[in-house]
Amino acid sequence: MAKKKNARARQSSIPGTERKVHKDVRAAAEQYVEARDERMECTEIEVDKKAALIKAMRKHDLTEYVDEDAELIVTLTEGEAKIKVRKLHKPEAEEAANG
C-alpha cells in the first residue's frame, strides 16, 4: 500500500514578523490568475475544435480546402497532424468591384 505524503504543516508566526499584505499586488495577482484560467479554458476548447477540423479534413481525404465564401484556406499537414487556417485575400480590384 502506498504511503500518502503528509500535508506540510504551516509554520506558526512569531509576533511582530507577520508578512505585510500589499493589496494592489494581491489584486493584480488575482486578476492575472483569473485571466490565465480563462485562457487555459479557451485553449482546451481550441484543441477540441482543432481535432474536429482535422477529423473532418481526413474524413473527406483533404489536405487543402479553399472556401471563397468564408474567405478561408485550410491546410492539413500529416505526420504531426498540423492544421493551418488562413484568411483568403481577395485582389483589391475584386474587392472594389464588390464593395
The SS3 call for residue 41 is helix
Q: Is the pLDDT of residue 1 over 70?
A: no
Q: Which residues lie closer than 8 Å to 78 by C-beta, 6 or more apart?
A: 63
> How much is the pLDDT for 47?
93
- Tell me: the pLDDT tens digits for 17-36? 778 888 999 999 999 999 99
> How much is the pLDDT for 3?
56
> How much is the pLDDT for 63?
93
* Residues 23 and 30: beta-carbon distance below 8 Å: no
Arithmetic mean of pLDDT over the chain: 84
> How much is the pLDDT for 71?
92
